[in-house]
Amino acid sequence: MINVTKTFFPPIEEYQEQLERVWKNQWLTNRGELLLELEEKVKKYLSVSNVIIMTNGTIPIQIALKILGKEGEIITTPFSYVATTSSIVWEHCKPVFVDIHPEYLTIDETKIEAAITPKTTAILATHVFGNPCNVEAIEAIAKKHNLKVIYDAAHCFGVTYKGKSIFDFGDVSTCSFHATKLFHTGEGGALFCNDADLNHKMYFSHNFGHNGPLAFHGLGVNGKTSELQAAMGLAVLPYIDDIIHSRKEAVEYYNANLDCGKLQMLKIRENASWNYSYYPILLESEAKLLEVQQALNEVDIYPRRYFYPSLNTIEFTKGQSMPISEDVASRVMCLPLYAGLVASELEQIVHTINNNLG
């Protein structure tokens, strides 16, 4: 069976070495030694100044919206994982959708200003499949209209734009460290914020609002992660370059051997250093997608319709029509991509797709 992704497991003895430290310290949570070490190593690897590692990738979005959204209208993309939009609704804000660029698949920055109203408080945009938004245009719009910018950068570990970490853009960026991601802690996520005062608010907000054991800065929730998750991260991080290299080789094989004349591929934004996090293809129609998907399933290959459906169509959003996102969502499929895909598996995937494109 070839699934759309496969979790990277570090050598078990290396994970056990980290766990032995946990047992020695007798400290399982509340920002222990391993978590603090992991945050420092992640900062160094990514060349960023601040990171708050949390228990998943959704809590950072919710905290950012709680502080910056102020229960207003949030301009966002309909082409993302459901957590982007559900977090907006969960935090009593209103999602206002803007359609996407048909090639980059990120929010179409040329359509953002038309969606701004006096109730707009923030822009929440997704770097889709690790492909950056037009961060410079979005920053200019936000500055002009006094809006905050939050980036859902769940797929972006290691991505840079013009030599700078993609996490350095916006008021807040978030990332997922879920087991399916390039870098993972089993389950986890992170928040990045360069402004010291805002970063402080984010920090105490993920720890019940604590200011020491007996006082409080303000309202907070429990977004803390455990030493067991940090142990996994410390065991995985030394392999991240190998993971990215292996995925790059698979992407290059797909690019060289798929019948690209009958498929649309993701266009990576200029000046971006991509991390090969996903390999989406767009078929000519939903009917053709379903045909190709069935052919792959019949030989135990399981791609994923990701992202589907367009988020403006789900019940709790009640969004207006977004024709490009709806069209893309109906035709997009992510192919298997993970460290360790072997040549024979890639050959079978490509052969099956090409034979069913006619």
**Model confidence band, residue 4 (pLDDT cutoffs 50, 70, 90):** very high
Please state at what angle helix 343-354 crosses helix 286-298, rounded to 10 degrees: 140
Each domain of the chain, given as residue ranges in start order, spans: 3-99+106-238, 240-354
Report whether pLDDT(258) > 90: yes
Structure tokens at 103: 């090639």
240-354 maps to which CATH number?
3.90.1150.10
Q: In angstroms, rounded to a whole number, what is the distance separating the alpha carbons of residues 99 and 110? A: 10
pLDDT value, residue 358: 82
| Contact criterion met (CB below 8 Å) for 320 and 312 | yes
Burial status of residue 212 (CB atoms within 10 A of its CB: 0-12, 13-18, 19 or more):
exposed
Higher pLDDT residue, 343 or 215?
343
Q: Each residue of 6-31: pLDDT tens digit?
A: 999 999 999 999 999 999 999 999 99
Lowest mean pLDDT among 150-164, 172-186, 263-277, 309-323: 309-323
| Contact criterion met (CB below 8 Å) for 200 and 87 | no
Residue showing tokens 């319709």: 305
Q: Each residue of 194-237: pLDDT tens digit?
A: 999 999 999 999 999 998 888 889 999 999 999 999 999 999 99
What count of other Cβ atoms lies within 10 Å of the Cβ of residue 111?
16
The two beta strands, 272-273 and 189-192, are unpaired
Structure tokens at 331: 């035709």
We find that the CATH architecture of domain 3-99+106-238 is 3-Layer(aba) Sandwich (3.40)
> Could you give the C-alpha distances from 288 to 2, 302, 333, in angstroms and in order?
21, 16, 11
Phi-psi region of 353 (alpha: psi -120 to 50; beta: other; left: phi over 0): alpha
Lowest mean pLDDT among 106-120, 208-222, 277-291, 335-349: 208-222
What global pTM score does this model have? 0.97
pLDDT value, residue 281: 98
pLDDT > 90 fraction of the chain, expressed in percent and rounded? 97
pLDDT value, residue 213: 85
| Contact criterion met (CB below 8 Å) for 61 and 83 | yes
Average pLDDT over residues 175-198: 97
Mean residue pLDDT of the chain comes to 97
Amino acid occupying residue 4: V
pLDDT value, residue 212: 83
pLDDT value, residue 319: 78
Structure tokens at 191: 């928040």
pLDDT value, residue 102: 98
Structure tokens at 264: 């649309």
Q: CB-side exposure of 86: number of CA atoms within 13 Å?
A: 9
Contact residues for 225 (Cβ-Cβ < 8 A; gap 6+): 29, 35, 53, 54, 55, 185, 188
Residue showing tokens 């013009």: 162
Q: Mind spelling out the 3-state secondary structure of the chain? A: CEECCCCCCCCHHHHHHHHHHHHHHCCCCCCCHHHHHHHHHHHHHHCCCCCEEECCCCHHHHHHHHHHCCCCEEEECCCCCHHHHHHHHHCCCEEEECCECCCCCCECHHHCHHHCCCCEEEEEEECECCECCCHHHHHHHHHHHCCEEEEECCCCCCCEECCEEHHHCCCEEEEECCCCCCCCCCCCEEEECCCHHHHHHHHHHCECCECCCCCECCCCCECCCCHHHHHHHHHHHHHHHHHHHHHHHHHHHHHHHCCHHHCEECCCCCCEECCCCCCEEECCCHHHHHHHHHHHHHCCEECECCCCCCHHHCCCCCCCCCHHHHHHHHHEEECCCCCCCCHHHHHHHHHHHHCCCC
Average pLDDT over residues 306-328: 95
Report whether pLDDT(267) > 90: yes
pLDDT value, residue 214: 85
Structure tokens at 228: 């067991």
> Could you give the C-alpha distances from 213 to 34, 54, 204, 209, 226, in angstroms and in order?
21, 19, 12, 10, 18
Average pLDDT over residues 70-78: 98
